[in-house]
Structure 1
Amino acid sequence: MVVRIMGEGQVRLADSHLTELNKLDDELLREMENGDGPGFRRTLQALLSKVRELGTPLPDESLEPSDLILPSPDATLQEVRDLLSDDGLIPG
């Protein structure tokens, strides 16, 4: 799957990593629901770091359609809420 981090670019990520990423996504949702700003910021950074770590960056000139779009590292709580689906940021 191709994942875009807003403001950074795209990475190719194996579907097998979704379970690991969903754990962080679930934690992020809980923190958002509880209004835990510092926890939200910490978990968002952890989620994006994990995507960068597990994914393979695509060249900047590559224009592949993104299967998943994640917020930028400096996104606000409201901006992330606007991106959420029923499953959170990560499907599944």
Structure 2
Amino acid sequence: MIVRILGEGQYDVADDALDGLNALDAQVESAVDAGDEAALATALAALHDAVRSSGSAHDPDSLDESDLILPPADASIEDVRDLLGGDGLIPG
């Protein structure tokens, strides 16, 4: 799957990384629900680090559509809330 971190780029991430990413996504969602900016920053950093470490940079010249879109590291609670779906940032 192709994961985009807004403001940074796309990463090719194997489907078997999805469970770990979902666990981190739950932390992001909890921070948003609690209105905790510090916890959100920590959770987003962990989610971004997991995408980078489990994936590889997608060809920047490619026009491939992203399967998942993650907010940038400096996103506010409102920014993330706008991106959250019923399943969080990462469905599943």
Q: TM-score range by the shorter chain?
A: over 0.9
Aligned ranges 1:65-84 → 2 under 5 Å: 65-84=65-84
Paired with 2:58 and 2:20, the residues of 1 have a C-alpha distance of: 21
Q: Secondary structure at the match of 2:11?
A: strand
TM-score by length of 2: 0.95
Aligned ranges 1:1-92 → 2 under 5 Å: 1-92=1-92
Paired with 2:7 and 2:28, the residues of 1 have a C-alpha distance of: 20
Q: What is the percent sequence identity of the aligned residues? A: 48
Paired with 1:55 and 1:18, the residues of 2 have a C-alpha distance of: 11
Deviations, residues 16-55 of structure 1 (Å, cap 9, x unaligned): 1110011111111111111111111101111011101111
Paired with 1:16 and 1:57, the residues of 2 have a C-alpha distance of: 17
Contact 2:12 2:58 in 1 (8 A): yes
Alignment-mate amino acid for residue 41 of structure 1: A
Paired residues, number? 92
Superposition CA RMSD, Å: 0.8
TM-score by length of 1: 0.95
Q: Which runs of 4+ in 1 moved over 3 A?
A: none
Q: Secondary structure at the match of 1:45?
A: helix
